[in-house]
């Protein structure tokens, strides 16, 4: 158990819709990041939040956005869903940059 929990575990959306994925970080971890793992590939960094502000972003368009709350829980929002957004979305938390990063079980998103 990593102490990082994600919801929902599976969901199906239609192209053009919007989705919100949720994450509860390990207790005390103030840094949360999100990754997209397409089938058969390694995870790709989407962005990171530290103390409720985005402080790093990968090569993802602005329709991928996030929030981090004072209790360090987090959301990933994706607007205008595309078929290629179908993937496993992983939330990860750590105490600070350079420390071990712990991952949740992920949310499987299918866009049809």
Partner 1 sequence: AQSVAQPEDQVNVAEGNPLTVKCTYSVSGNPYLFWYVQYPNRGLQFLLKYITGDNLVKGSYGFEAEFNKSQTSFHLKKPSALVSDSALYFCAVSPFSGGYNKLIFGAGTRLAVHP
Residues in the site for partner 1, rule: CB under 8 A? 2, 4, 6, 31, 33, 35, 41-45, 48, 50, 55-56, 58, 90, 92, 94, 97-106, 108
Q: In this complex, which beta carbon is closest to partner 1, that of residue 1 or of residue 14?
A: 1
What is the number of residues in the chain? 112
Phi-psi region of 50 (alpha: psi -120 to 50; beta: other; left: phi over 0): beta
Report, in Å, the least distance between residue 7 CB and partner 1: 13
Q: In this complex, which beta carbon is closest to partner 1, that of residue 6 or of residue 78?
A: 6
Report, in Å, the least distance between residue 77 CB and partner 1: 20
CA atoms within 13 A on the CB side of 64: 18
Q: In this complex, which beta carbon is closest to partner 1, that of residue 17 or of residue 110?
A: 110
| Cis-peptide, bond into residue 32, ω within 30° of zero | no
Report, in Å, the least distance between residue 74 CB and partner 1: 13
Report, in Å, the least distance between residue 6 CB and partner 1: 8
In DSSP terms, 16 is beta-bridged to none
Query: What are the strands of the beta sheet with 19-24, ordered from one edge?
Result: 5-7, 19-24, 74-78, 64-68
């Amino acid at each position: 158990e990593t102490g990082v929990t994600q919801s929902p575990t599976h969901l199906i959306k239609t192209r053009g819709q919007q989705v919100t994925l949720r994450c509860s970080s390990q207790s005390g971890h103030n840094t949360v990041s999100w990754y997209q793992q397409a089938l058969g590939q390694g995870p790709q960094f989407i962005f990171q939040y530290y103390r409720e502000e985005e402080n790093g972003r990968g090569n993802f368009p602005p329709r991928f956005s996030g929030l981090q709350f004072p209790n360090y829980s987090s959301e990933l929002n994706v607007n205008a869903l595309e078929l290629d957004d179908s993937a496993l979305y992983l939330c990860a938390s750590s105490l600070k940059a350079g420390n071990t990063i712990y991952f949740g079980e992920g949310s499987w998103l299918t866009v049809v």
